[in-house]
Amino acid sequence: MRTRLCSRSRLAISLILANGVFWLVFIVYFWWKGYLYNPHVKLFEEPAPPYIIWGRAFPFDQYMSPFMKASRILQWPSFYAASPLNFLASSRGIVGDTQYWGTSVGGYYLILVCLLSFIQWYLIAIFIDYLTHRVGQRSGRLQAG
């Protein structure tokens, strides 16, 4: 049996749309909780913001808020898949608040997580479709036999 990787099932479309809504809510939350960030010399043990995107920083105290914890749980495969970007930046000595075009490495990491999450939910939908199709075939065989 040949499986198709290009699924246009209702489940795949709805999961991708739900993921899009999630990231729109995330953007609003980021914009609401974030603040304009000006690069500066850090004071003694001053933490750098985890994400700086286009000159807007996400506060360090909001990093483990309930919404961010939910984001990490829902999108954990994407966070894991994007982790080589952090390893690459660390190996090159790039620190968290170093900015390129107004965005820090953490910001690029978050953007990569966002893009990968669409692939993640698409693959989850394909897997669920495959399992339901497989279970449907098996129950059909059991009823016929």
* Domain regions of the chain by residue span: 10-37+48-144
Going by pLDDT thresholds of 50, 70 and 90, the confidence category of residue 1 is very low
Q: What is the pTM of this model?
A: 0.72
Model confidence at 141: pLDDT above 70 = no
Tell me the per-residue pLDDT of 7-66, one tens digit each, with 9 for 90 and over.
Answer: 567 888 888 899 999 989 988 887 887 777 776 566 676 666 767 777 777 776 666 778
- Name the H helices within 10-104: 10-33, 66-74, 76-81, 83-91
Considering the chain, what percentage of its residues have pLDDT values greater than 70? 66
Angle between helices 105-144 and 83-91 (to 10 degrees): 150
